[in-house]
Amino acid sequence: MKFAVVICAGALLFASGAAAEEGGKAISKTTISFGTATPGGGFPLYGNAFAEAMNAADPTLSIEPRNTKGSSENIPLLEAGTIDIATVAGEPTYEALKGIGRPPATKLKILTAMYSSPGMFVVRADSPYRTIRDLVGQPIAFGAKGSGLPILSRYVLDGIGLKQDEDFKSIYLDRAGDGPAMVQDGRAAALWGAGIGWPGFTAMADSATGARFIAPSAEEIARILARHSFLKPLTIPANSYPKQSEPIASVGSWSYILVRESLPDDVAYRMARTLHAIEATFCNKLAQACETTAKNTLAAAPDVALIHPGVLKYLRELGVAK
């Protein structure tokens, strides 16, 4: 559904329901189509929580999440104006903004930085594999087709001299949620994922088989960052997952909510104002949303000019941006 401002007169109804009311009077309602990813992954989890929190905080907004194939589909959908906003992983964002493999560079803009995404593998607790190189030659579930996770893993592996589709038996999932079961029953030796509160990691850690996480070593992290400087050293804090008693150092990037280039400034401004007024509420709703802050958006943006002008206006009013 494309963006639309619906002026409600009398008892006018529209596809998503009756017009919002304030003081007994109908008010205009803005419907936002929000692309996320395949069921069972981190983006739908975040996207649904985002929509619920935003819609509750601002009755003039109707943010409607929809499942997509993930980051690689969300970017062209945004560029075509088929959706208004979408979750996009850091690596596809970087490639699109730089025009890598797809000239010219995209003109999409950033609404907010979502959360940092340190990448790592997870195996069964009884698995013999303990390092990334132990996994060479094994069947590995690298994430859903079209998602940003396989792109992140490709950069990470390239940084230590490995090729994802040559050195591993790569598995690309139709649904992100299928990965944990494949590791538990032996169809895959490991599952690749990223971030805090990622559903695949949680499912593995909570399973009867238990889980062990495998991240790059300190020496491998240095090699990855030297080769791909847009990636950042990131840490998954202790106790982010069941029985994970120690912090895990890795590399990764920030995921974003991107918006179509033509999203009106006033709509982007209103969404930013609503979002950052409920930072604490959103954090309480979802652990990874604790990183969705105005300060992090400014810090995580590759360039301030890539933030939507309406959002930047609000960040300046807030005193976060100059």
Which of 14, 87, 90 has its CA nearest to residue 51? Answer: 87
Residue 178, H or E segment: none
**How far is 237 from 234, CA to CA, in rounded Å?**
10
Residues 267, 6 contacting (CB under 8 angstroms): no
- CATH fold of 117-253 reads D-Maltodextrin-Binding Protein; domain 2 (3.40.190)
**Report field, pTM of the whole predicted structure over 0.75:** yes
Q: What is the pLDDT of residues 66-84, one digit of tens each?
A: 999 999 999 999 999 999 9
Count CA atoms closer than 13 A to 240's CA, side-chain side.
22
| Phi-psi domain of 306 (left: phi exceeds 0; alpha: psi -120 through 50; beta: other) | alpha
37 has a pLDDT exceeding 90: yes
| Residue % of the chain over a pLDDT of 70 | 92
- Please count the helices (runs of H) and the strands (runs of E) in the chain: 12, 15
20 has a pLDDT exceeding 80: no
Q: What is the pLDDT of residues 230-283, one digit of tens each?
A: 999 999 999 999 999 999 999 999 999 999 999 999 999 999 999 999 999 999
Q: What is the pLDDT of residues 91-146, one digit of tens each?
A: 999 999 889 988 899 999 999 999 999 999 999 999 999 999 999 999 999 999 88
**How far is 128 from 136, CA to CA, in rounded Å?**
13
**pLDDT on residue 7:** 32
Residues 288, 282 contacting (CB under 8 angstroms): no
CB-neighbour burial class of residue 111 (10 A; exposed 0-12, middle 13-18, buried 19+): buried
Q: What is the mean pLDDT of the chain?
A: 91
Residues 188, 200 contacting (CB under 8 angstroms): no
For 295, other C-beta atoms within 10 Å of its C-beta total 14
Residue 147 has what DSSP assignment? S
CATH superfamily of the 4-116+256-318 domain: Periplasmic binding protein-like II (3.40.190.10)
Cα angle for residues 49, 22, 61 (degrees, 5° grid)? 30
Q: Scan for tokens 């409920």, then name that residue.
A: 278
Q: Scan for tokens 């692309």, then name that residue.
A: 35
Q: Could you tell me where in the chain the CATH 3.40.190.10 domains are found? A: 4-116+256-318, 117-253
